[in-house]
Chains A and B, each alone.
Chain A
Amino acid sequence: MTAASETYYEKRGLIGTLGRDGLIQIILVANTFIMLAPIVIMVFSAFKTNMEIFQSPFSLPDFSNVTNFVKIWTQTNFLRYLLNSFIVTGASMACILTLGTMAAYAIARYEFFGASFILMFFLAGLTLPLKLAIIPLFMLMRDLGILNNQLSLIAVYTAMGLPTTVFIMTGFIRTLPNELEDAARMDGASEARIMWSIMLPLVRPAMVIAGIQNVVPIWNDFFFPLVFIQNDRLKTLPQGLTTFMGEYTTDWGVLFSGLTLSAAPIIIIYIVLSRQFISGMTSGAIK
Chain B
Amino acid sequence: MARLSLRGIKKRFRTTDVLHGIDLEIGDREFVVFVGPSGCGKSTLLRLIAGLDPISEGSFFLNGQQMNEVPPSRRGIAMVFQSYALYPHMDVYENMAFGARLMGLSRAEVEARIAEAARMLRLEEYLKRKPRELSGGQRQRVAIARALVRKPEVFLLDEPLSNLDAALRSDVRLEIARLHRQIGGTMIYVTHDQVEAMTLADRIVVMNLGRIEQVGTPRELYETPANTFVATFIGSPKMALIDVTRDGDTIGVAGGGSQKLGRLPAADAEAFKVGVRPDALTLRRGEGEGLAATVVYTEYLGDNAFVYARLADGTQVSVRTAPGETYDPDEKVNLTIAAETAHFFSAADGRRMAA
Q: Which residues of A pack against B, CB within 8 Å? A: 177, 179-180, 182-189, 193, 197-198, 201-202, 280-287
Contacts of A284 in B (CB 8 A): 86, 88, 130-134, 139
B269 close to A (CB within 8 Å) = no
Check B83–A287 contact: CB distance below 8 A.
Answer: yes
For the complex with contacts A177-B83, A188-B99, A202-B89, 20 further pairs of A-B residues with Cβ separation under 8 Å are: A177-B85, A183-B79, A183-B81, A184-B98, A185-B52, A185-B73, A187-B73, A187-B150, A188-B102, A189-B98, A189-B102, A197-B98, A201-B89, A280-B132, A283-B88, A284-B130, A284-B134, A285-B88, A286-B83, A287-B163
Q: List 5 A-B contacts (CB under 8 A).
A: A184-B87, A186-B77, A202-B89, A281-B88, A287-B84
> A282's closest neighbor in chain B, by CB?
B88
- Bound complex: CA A287 to CA B72 (Å): 24
Asked whether A285 and B73 contact (CB < 8 A) given A177-B83, A182-B52, A187-B102, the answer is no
- Bound complex: CA A281 to CA B50 (Å): 28
> A185's closest neighbor in chain B, by CB?
B72
Output the residue of A177, A188, A189 with the most chain B CB within 10 A: A188
Contact of B85 among A180, A197, A202 (CB under 8 A): A180
Contacts of A282 in B (CB 8 A): 88
Contacts of A281 in B (CB 8 A): 88-89
Contact of B131 among A177, A182, A285 (CB under 8 A): A285
Check A283–B132 contact: CB distance below 8 A.
Answer: yes
Q: Shortest 5 CB-CB distances between A and B: which pairs?
A: A284-B132, A188-B73, A187-B99, A286-B83, A284-B131
Contacts of A283 in B (CB 8 A): 88, 132
Check A285–B52 contact: CB distance below 8 A.
Answer: no
Check B83–A186 contact: CB distance below 8 A.
Answer: no
> B88's closest neighbor in chain A, by CB?
A285
Contacts of B281 in A (CB 8 A): none
- Bound complex: CA A105 to CA B8 (Å): 34
- Bound complex: CA A193 to CA B71 (Å): 15
B82 close to A (CB within 8 Å) = yes
Nearest CB of chain B from residue A36's CB, rounded to whole Å: 36
Contacts of A286 in B (CB 8 A): 83-85
Check A186–B79 contact: CB distance below 8 A.
Answer: yes
Contacts of B71 in A (CB 8 A): 185, 188
- Bound complex: CA A197 to CA B98 (Å): 9
